[in-house]
Amino acid sequence: MIFTCPVCGYRELPRPAVDDLICPSCGTQFGYDDCSASHVDLRREWIRRGLNWHSRVIPQPRSWNPLVQLTEAGFAVRLSGVNMTEEVTRTVIGDEPLITVRTVAA
Ligand SMILES: [Zn+2]
């Protein structure tokens, strides 16, 4: 059985997110970090720090994408649009646009 991180949405936790489990994705230490901050606050902090893979013991999965992970967990909504010269993907949590990725449209 595997479990999902309530902070970042990582879906491969080996046990429930309690009792000093440290999420390899966002680095939250459950039972410690979440005593003084809510999961939403911890998620915002992880995003502000740049959505980096935390663990140095467990390697980052090759196809890991933190934005997809957040979206699939229901913590974010991705909005995409194409204008004349670029494709814009925005990841939104609540009504707050947090991350905008722009790539030149093909
Ligand atoms: Zn996590």
Supply the pLDDT for residue 75.
Answer: 84
C-alpha 105 to ligand 1 mean position (Å):
32
Looking at the DSSP assignment, which residues form a beta bridge with residue 91?
A: 78, 99
The pTM of this model reads: 0.79
Q: Are 78 and 88 in contact (CB under 8 A)?
A: no
**CA–CA separation, 13 and 3 (whole Å):** 5
Supply the pLDDT for residue 71.
Answer: 84
Supply the pLDDT for residue 48.
Answer: 83
C-alpha 103 to ligand 1 mean position (Å):
27
Supply the pLDDT for residue 17.
Answer: 93
**CA–CA separation, 94 and 92 (whole Å):** 6
| Each residue's pLDDT expressed in tens, for the chain with a length of 106 residues | 889 999 999 999 999 999 999 999 999 999 999 999 999 889 988 988 888 999 999 999 999 999 889 888 888 877 766 666 666 666 666 556 566 666 655 5
Query: Which pair of structure tokens corresponds to residue 93?
Result: 């949590």
Supply the pLDDT for residue 102.
Answer: 60
C-alpha 54 to ligand 1 mean position (Å):
9
